[in-house]
Chains A and B, each alone.
Chain A
Amino acid sequence: MKKVSFMDMPDVPKGQLPEHLELQRTRVFCGSDAPTHSEGIQYSGAYASMGIDNSLRLDSFCKKFRVEVIQLTEDEIEFDMIGIDASLANAFRRILIAEVPTMAIEKVLMVNNTSVIADEVLAHRLGLIPLDVDPRSFEYFSGNDSPNERNTIVFKLDVSCKKGARITVKSDQLKWLPNGSELEMTTPNPSAKPKSYTLFTCSQASLPEFSDKPIGPKHQDIIISKLGPGQAIELEVHAIKGIGKTHAKWSPVATAWYRMLPEVVLLKEIEGKQAEELVQKCPVNVFQEIEDIGKGKKKAVVANPRACTLCRECIRGEGWEELVAVRRVKDHFIFRIESTGALPPEDLFTEAVKILEDKCDRLISELS
């Protein structure tokens, strides 16, 4: 018999990878015991022995890349990114959580606190309140410069509880002070003019960014503390710009996460009793039974693979792994961003991309 190279066999497509290799390259296989082929194949010469070039260039990225928005609300976005690598998707996720800046309360000047909640605990609680202000209109506050209208936002909280009453202090009682701090520094020299904690040259309310939208907490009903009869809190807080890496209070997202698109394939026709069993097996209703008109029998189809949580319940038990394949598409990411309110979620993502671009630019300029 004449020897034939496997590449010339009739069932191997010309110039392409054989079917099983292509599947291993583009899918993660979720077997009943463990996922396999989970690594991304990036190396340009991975299939060089078969004469197939695996090197990827910019033009092929342009051709393949696609975005689809699934859901967009005021503070949530879910979108599909198709044609990117896990390393890039993860870079975006990490930047969103730790490197996109927001404004948060950093300094608390305590004048009076007779409530049951200790000063430091109260200060920490105040720090975590999300502020409804665009951080792009502010600068970072560094140790050397004085707090001014471009880097600091000042609020005051002044509440007291009458005898015989009990009150709940909520975030809407934080009053924005557009003219800066109202407190005065104590100086050793009593004759000197007392200095304020901030040096505002003009009122923030007169700045065009804030004139029609006053600064305040995003949610008005966050409980700060509870006061008993005769208790009082008087304090002033200074909010500055920062990133989630320093402290989680600056993180602009409640959560940002992604998952790969699940793919469920029926390897054989599943009919009758077995179809019914399969539909019952899945806790998230990926499968559906439909009437097969030709045969007069019921047959199972994959109706909603996106809902699949990869619990692998469908391939549990003898013989099921030969009937159903559960896979994930390696370059299809379902991204979900939940904003804390400072920026709309779609802006958060573009900010994250900009930060990564900045990093690239910095690297380029530092290398050359």
Chain B
Amino acid sequence: MNAPDRQLHRDPNVLFAGYKLPHPLQYKILLRVQTTSQSSPMQAYNQAINDLDKELEILKNAFEKVITSQIYI
């Protein structure tokens, strides 16, 4: 949950982003996003998740590349 939150903070159109866990034993998270008029919370959130997804893809590829080069030295 920290990861999407951080991703939202990086967006210049996001004015506020935060999450809370009302009860630690309930699997329920409340997320609050406030944006400027150039964006909408839904749009910002979608973009944050998409960016995170792409970031992970790059990270995975970079890691695999290093690992294969390690194994076949």
Closest to A48 in B: B12
Closest CB in chain B relative to A226 CB, distance in Å: 40
Interface presence of A124 (CB below 8 A): no
Task: Verify A90–B9 contact, CB threshold 8 A.
Answer: no
Task: Verify A44–B2 contact, CB threshold 8 A.
Answer: no
Query: Contact check: which of A61, A66, A69, A79 meets B55 at CB < 8 Å?
Result: A61
Task: Verify A42–B59 contact, CB threshold 8 A.
Answer: no
Closest CB in chain A relative to B52 CB, distance in Å: 6
Q: Give the A-B contact count at a CB cut-off of 8 A.
A: 89
Query: Contact check: which of A40, A84, A346, A361 meets B59 at CB < 8 Å?
Result: A84
Known contacts A44-B12, A57-B10, A360 near B53 by CB under 8 Å? yes
Which of A97-105, A150-158, A287-295, A349-357 lies at the interface?
A349-357
Interface presence of A183 (CB below 8 A): no
A363 to B45, CA, bound (A): 10
Provide the A44-70 mask, 1 if CB < 8 A to any CB of B, else 0. 110000000101111001100111110
A88 to B3, CA, bound (A): 6
Q: How large is the interface on B (under 10, 10 to 19, 20 to 34, 35 or more residues)?
A: 20 to 34
A26 to B12, CA, bound (A): 20
Query: Contact check: which of A91, A354, A367 meets B60 at CB < 8 Å?
Result: A354
A90 to B3, CA, bound (A): 9
Provide the A27-47 mask, 1 if CB < 8 A to any CB of B, else 0. 000000000000010111100
Task: Verify B58–A61 contact, CB threshold 8 A.
Answer: yes
Q: How many A residues, CB 8 Å from partner?
A: 40
Known contacts A55-B12, A67-B62, A363-B49, A353 near B3 by CB under 8 Å? no
A353 to B63, CA, bound (A): 10
Which of B3, B11, B45, B71 has the most chain A CB atoms closer than 10 A to its own CB?
B3
Known contacts A69-B70, A367-B42, A353 near B56 by CB under 8 Å? yes
Closest to B15 in A: A45
Known contacts A67-B66, A87-B3, A44 near B49 by CB under 8 Å? no
Closest to A353 in B: B60
Interfacial chain B residues near A85, Cβ < 8 Å: 3, 6
Closest to A90 in B: B2
Closest to B62 in A: A67
A73-113, CB < 8 A from B: 79, 81, 84-88, 90-91
Interface presence of B20 (CB below 8 A): no
Interfacial chain B residues near A56, Cβ < 8 Å: 10
Closest CB in chain A relative to B2 CB, distance in Å: 4
Task: Verify A42–B10 contact, CB threshold 8 A.
Answer: yes
Closest CB in chain B relative to A174 CB, distance in Å: 31
Further pairs besides A67-B59, A87-B2: 15, Cβ < 8 Å: A40-B6, A44-B14, A58-B51, A72-B71, A87-B3, A87-B5, A346-B63, A356-B56, A357-B53, A357-B56, A360-B50, A360-B52, A360-B56, A364-B49, A367-B45
